Amino acid sequence: MHSIHAEKVSLTFPLYQRTSASETEAHPIPFTEDDRLILGKDGRILAVKALRDITFTLKGGDRLALIGKNGSGKTTLLQVLAGIYPPDAGYVATRGRATNLINLNLGMRSEATGHRNITLKGLAAGRSREEIEEKRNQIAEFSELGRFLDMPVETYSAGMRMRLSFAIATAFDPEILILDEWISAGDAAFKQKASQRMQEFVGKAGILILASHSPDLLIENCSRGIWLDKGRIRFDGPIRDALEAYAAETRGAAQKPRPANRAGPAPVDGARARS
């Protein structure tokens, strides 16, 4: 049985001199307190506490949705679950072969053709040349890229890249599938196809973890929802309840008058609510 267990996972993202104060020195922006930031003596941001005390368990057939604002830690959590970043504290125990589709632009050779990337990704997934050849037609068919598979991936549109990545990732029988929100970049027909494929996958006792801002996509594909807020789990429960709790908070925030000292552009939905 496949499983994935996160135990008190915390991750601090070090920034290594990638922040600079020069842009804001002349006109300092009054910041609101954010306890995620770790500041140096000179006020520079040294690191960000991206994830704090995340604990949950998933078993075969579970379908988890990650929701939360931009910057709430969804993608970082996916990367930790995929085994790319080892957590600073706590651990992730995984039983089963995890495949991730987190960043569309990574993990492909953009100068190489679509076909060549099928081969490379297959080899990287530990598959033999024969197994890759067996799957090649299926990938070509699912991605509907046809002759475009003979062209370099750098000539593809975002949607085409996504089709290819998704087709490859699901072809090599993953046991744990970790997907970031870009899946919503596909057209309606592809989204439906992708949902169907994800359901087949979960039917075979796979574990699906999907981060998205699209409630429809999440309701269709997930049963459980975890709402991340500033790197912590704010809510963990059935997907509809999680979406509702999250939506209630976003509505509440939009109607509340904004603090006067807070600078920066107002969020679009906030602006709409007031006008």
Partner 1 sequence: MSDYIGNADRLNPESNRSPEMSNAADIPRAAPSAATPPGAGVAVSSSAAASRPTILFEDVIDGLGMSEVWRAFAWDEMQQRYRRSVLGILWIFVAYAVFVGTIAFFFAGFAKMGAHQFIIYVALGYATYQFLVGNITDGCQVFSASGNWIKSTTLPYSIYVYKSIFRSVFTVALQLLVALGVMIYFGWRPTWLSLLSLPAAAIFLLDAVAIQYFLGLFGARYRDIPHLVATIMRVLFFMTPILWVREEMRGIRATLADVNPLTHFLEIFRAPLMGAEPRLSSWAVVLISSAVIWLAAAIAAWRMRRRLPFWV
Residues 155-214 that bind partner 1 (CB under 8 A): 175
Asked whether position 14 contacts partner 1 by CB under 8 A, the answer is yes
Q: In this chain, which of 21, 123, 158, 247 binds partner 1, going by CB under 8 A?
A: 123
Exactly one of 21, 24, 124, 216 binds partner 1 (CB under 8 A); which one?
A: 124
Question: How near is the Cβ of 10 to partner 1 at its closest, in Å?
Answer: 7
Q: Per the structure block, which two tokens stand in for 132?
A: 């890759």
Range 52-81, binding partner 1 (CB under 8 A): 55, 57, 79-80
Q: Encoding tokens for residue 271? A: 């602006």
Please report whether residue 151 would count as binding partner 1 according to CB under 8 A. no
Output the smallest distance, CB 58 to partner 1, in A. 11
* Stretch of 105-113, 140-148, 199-207, 262-270 lying at the interface with partner 1 (CB under 8 A): 105-113
Judged by beta carbon, residue 68 or residue 206, the one nearer partner 1 is 206
Q: 97 or 197: whose CB is closer to partner 1?
A: 97
Among positions 51, 64, 102, 243, the unique one binding partner 1 when judged by CB under 8 A: 102
Site for partner 1, residues 25 to 44, rule: CB under 8 A: 38
The answer to whether residues 267 and 256 touch, using CB atoms and an 8 Å cutoff, is no
51 lies in the site for partner 1, by CB under 8 A: no
Concatenating the DSSP letter of every residue in the chain gives --EEEEEEEEEEEE-TT---STTTSSS---PPP-TTEEE-TTS-EEEEEEEEEEEEEEETT-EEEEE--TTSSHHHHHHHHTTSS--SEEEEEEES-EEEE--TTSSS-TTSBHHHHHHHHHHHTT--HHHHHHHHHHHHHHHT-GGGGGSBGGGS-HHHHHHHHHHHHHHT--SEEEE-GGGGGS-HHHHHHHHHHHHHHHHTT-EEEEE-S-HHHHHHH-SEEEEEETTEEEEEEEHHHHHHHHHHHHHHHHHSPPPTT--SPPPHHHHHHH-
- Determine which residue in the list 28, 31, 106, 213 makes contact with partner 1, applying CB under 8 A: 106
Given candidates 28, 30, 93, 204, which one binds partner 1 under the rule CB under 8 A? 93
Binding piece for partner 1, criterion CB under 8 A, among 4-12, 138-146, 243-251, 267-275? 4-12
Residue selected from 61, 88, 220, 240 as contacting partner 1 according to rule CB under 8 A = 88
Largest CA distance in the chain: 64
Binding site for partner 1 (CB under 8 A): 2-3, 5, 7-8, 10, 12-14, 16, 38, 46-47, 55, 57, 79-80, 82-98, 100, 102-103, 105-107, 109, 111-112, 116, 119-120, 123-124, 126, 128-129, 175
